[in-house]
Structure 1
Amino acid sequence: KEGTIKRRLARRMAATDSGDYLDYFYALEKNPEEYENLLRDLTIKVSRFFRNRHIFQVLYNEVLPDIVNNKTRQNDKTLRIWGPGCAFGEEIYSVTITLLEYLKKTKKRVDDYDMSIFGTDIDEQALSKAKLGIYDKKAVRNVKKEILDAYFIMKGEHFQLIDSIKNLVNFTRDNLTSEKHISPPSGVIANYDLILCRNTLIYFSADLQQRAFLNFIRSLNPRGYLVLGSSESIPKDFKDYFILTNLKDKIYKFRGQGQGGSEQ
């Protein structure tokens, strides 16, 4: 998305009265806060609750049943979900609501599971908003009325998530492409049953995508799932690690590290 990046960079140059790229470089050197301003502008945040609703239907009808049934067979009560590049939290909260709705349908108790749900991003301000869980009408326009009534409270012109949902999701600053860790810093261990990373990787170079996928295969539970955006795909070096289970919605099942090629 070179054009998008150039437009956003030009906006920061105008805001700092920089005549050219060299001027802006000096502005960055003189003002460390401008790094954060640039970072916020370059990290594209376009989301809403239940964006591309059919994906959440597949999660509800196919992915979550497979995960939970496997856990039941293994007498494993942990459920671990990671949403890297979570921005303001709409998507990771949507997954959490979908999980709770599935557990309710199958008459399973939330308290019977040790849930670890993480949303991570490099933008501290976005994470602060995600933790508040307050959204405008545009963000919830895809939410069904029964879900809106069950999980949100009307606050003037805004909608606030109920505490029982907010308390299930942990938000923390993290760089998806970092080479220094194998899971979010607050995650303690990896073994994620589901990683939802949609429409983030398209803004990464090939090298950064390689780093991200290395972290994915290190962080996923064997038989765990990875969900990508519609225009994203798995780099060829990592294809053997995954089985494509849903082409339309880019849902992949992890084979386990022992099933792929040699670790990158």
Structure 2
Amino acid sequence: MNNEEKYFRLILKQLCKMYGVDFSEYRQSTIKRRLARRMAFTGAGSYREYLDMLQEMPQEYNHLLHDLTIKVSRFFRNQYVFERLQNEIFPDILRSKKEYDQNVLRIWCAGCAFGDEAYSVAITLVEFLKRKREKTDDYDITIFGTDIDEESLEKARLGEYDGDAVKEVKRGILDEYFFVSGDYYRVVDSIKALVSFTIHDLTSETHMSPPAGIIANYDLMLCRNTLIYFSVPLQERVFLNLFKSLNPGGYLILGESESIPKDHEDSFIIKNQKERIYKKI
């Protein structure tokens, strides 16, 4: 191992010590590319220089964590997924709930970034219930949005977005569920009340699901475009956590470039291959 690689490892070790996130198991090409971008911004010419900067300015660690985590997010990203939620997934889940005289509905949006997806799911659920002439009060609904970046979660809790984030939102939905505040769009309180945002590391070996969730019996889990940034062994660990957290008959939605590991293929029914929608047997 050359000196530069040693200092690269030391940077990751310090990040893990401070935030409990082990980036050494992420795809190294992605981590090095994002780290190089942050170093260029700060003017550091080597890993050693950047490590010295981190030690002199500990607040830089937070900026680095923010840059290393993935932040591609907008409301109703991949519209077809939300159409499937309204027309197929929610009807199936709630039909099962009524069959067993249950009213608890638990949803987990993993790697939620700024909260766009979690709020999109909440809006879609409310619209579905309205169509069925039902109300959210008829159910005990919990939607968790989790991420490893507290700065992103703070923005998610605020629920305020620029025009780019809502550019795919239909006008009727925009008028119903957002307030316009200058150049920004703020999610209405009734939708915000359905979603809880909390820090959670998907790769954790001690917590397989959000600690705030207490128990890990989810009816629907979305983990889109997150697994692709992990090494294969880490993907397998994360997926095992997701699998254990999902109810039998529950739905899992992955990103378009992701799929169920072969060891778990027999535990799921493929409901929509293109949209990566699976139902746990």
Query: Same fold by TM (over 0.5)?
Result: yes
| d(CA) in 1 for partners of 2:246, 2:33 | 36
Q: Give the structure 2 partner of residue 213 of structure 1.
A: 239
Q: Number of aligned pairs?
A: 255
Q: Which of 111, 130, 153 in structure 2 is aligned with 1:104?
A: 130
Kindly state the Cα deviation for residue 30 of structure 1 after the two structures are TM-superposed: 4.5
- The residue number in structure 2 matching 1:260 is none
Q: CA offsets, 1:67-111, max 9 Å, x none?
A: 010001000000000001000000111011111111111111210
What stretches of structure 2 of length at least 5 have no aligned partner?
A: 1-26
**2:106 aligned to which of 75, 80, 99:** 80
Correspondence 1:57-76 to 2 at 5 A: 57-76=83-102
Task: Write the distance in 1 (CA, Å) between the matches of 2:274 and 2:261.
Answer: 18
Aligned match of 1:253: 279
For 1:242 and 1:25, locate their aligned partners in 2 and report how far apart those are by CA, in whole Å: 45
Q: How far is 1:29 from its partner?
A: 4.4
Q: Which structure shows the bigger proportion of residues in helix conformation?
A: 2
Residue in structure 2 matched with residue 162 of structure 1 by the alignment: 188
Q: 1:216 Cα deviation (Å)?
A: 0.7
- State the match for 2:4 in structure 1: none
Map of 1:176 onto structure 2: 202
1:144 equivalenced with 2:170 (yes/no) = yes
Question: Which residue matches 2:5?
Answer: none
1:28-84 CA distance string (max 9 Å, x none): 445433322211111121111111101100111111110010001000000000001
| Partner Cα separation in structure 2 for residue 97 and residue 121 of structure 1 | 20
Give a deviation string over 1:220-243, Cα, whole Å, max 9, x none. Answer: 011000000000112222222221
In the superposition, the TM-score normalised over structure 1's length comes to 0.92
* Equivalent residue number for residue 7 of structure 1: 33
Equivalent in the alignment of 2:63: 37
Instruction: For 2:154 and 2:118, locate their aligned partners in 1 and report how far apart those are by CA, in whole Å.
Output: 14
SS where residue 91 of structure 1 aligns? helix
Paired letter, 2:75: F
Amino acid at match of 1:24: Y
Map of 1:261 onto structure 2:
none
Counterpart of 2:82 (choices 36, 40, 56) is: 56
Name the stretch that deviates more: 34-43 or 121-130.
34-43
In the alignment, the residues of structure 2 paired with residue 134 and residue 166 of structure 1 have an alpha-carbon distance, to the nearest angstrom, of 11
1:187 maps to which of 185, 189, 213: 213
CA contact (8 A) 1:18 1:24 kept: yes
AA aligned to 2:119 is: Y
Q: Distance in 2 between matches of 1:115 and 1:58?
A: 19
Match for residue 25 of structure 1 among 51, 63, 66: 51
* TM-score, structure 2 as length reference: 0.87
CA RMSD of aligned residues (A): 1.5
Q: Report 1:216-227 matches (<5 A).
A: 216-227=242-253
Q: CA deviation at 1:2?
A: 5.8
Instruction: Find the aligned partners of 1:41 and 1:168 in 2 and give their Cα distance.
Output: 28
State percent identity of aligned pairs. 60
SS in 1 for 2:164: coil
Residue of structure 2 equivalent to 1:125 = 151
Contact 1:213 1:238 (8 Å CA) reproduced: no
